[in-house]
Structure 1
Amino acid sequence: MADSQRTFEPVNFVHQDEIWKAHVKVEKDSANVWPNKWGFLTEAYKEYERESVKLKEAVKVELPHHLSSQPLTSPEKHNQVGLSPPVPKTTQALIGWRSAHSHLQLEKHGMVHHGRRSFLKELGWPLNACI
């Protein structure tokens, strides 16, 4: 409701155009000044690339067998996808319908168990100490 009572100020298109022109001019001037001010960075980067290539060629170390890359195998060889059970007929039965089957569950290695600890018990304080 507050928006319907709000009055909008008229837009000054000429003023907005002047602001845009000023932004463009600043960008162009910055682009012209950049090589004089920061151009040394391009040379430093090229020098760094040359040095890194020299170091890589000098330090050619052959990897041990267990760290060398293995030939790629197809994912079908490792991932076996079985048939899904039929889709339930009701929307209520859709919730968790795949997890009801043991071979389709996400937890392949059993449930994750985290112990419950009490910070107060670790410090040896009474349980109502922070209330």
Structure 2
Amino acid sequence: MADSKRTSERINFVHRDEIWKAHIKIEKDSDEAWPNKWGFLTEVYKEYDMKNEKLKEALKDMTVQQRVRPLTPPQENTHVGPSPPVPQTTQAFIGWRSGHPHLQLEKYNTVH
């Protein structure tokens, strides 16, 4: 800290004590004002906690088969076609797949 480097200067203990008292007073005032400003958050947290407990109980009642979604076979949804040849230059490499209509991401409509 800066105080440890400045050993030649005198330390005003009374001034430091007043600063400390001001900090404590601000903390105390904030502690008293918090329920009026932010007390509603405690009620929301209690509601959240009750819902969380209900969900935990429902999860305990489920079997392992009900918790885990069955796997989708990859051959049903994945159709990979042949890729176009890789371009020779780096400038042509940018967007080289999107130039082909069957490889574009927007299959149904363009985004505006």
Q: Given the two structures, how large is their TM-score scaled by the length of structure 1?
A: 0.42
**Relative contact order (alpha carbons < 8 A, sep ≥ 6): 1 or 2 greater?**
2
TM-score, normalization: structure 2? 0.48
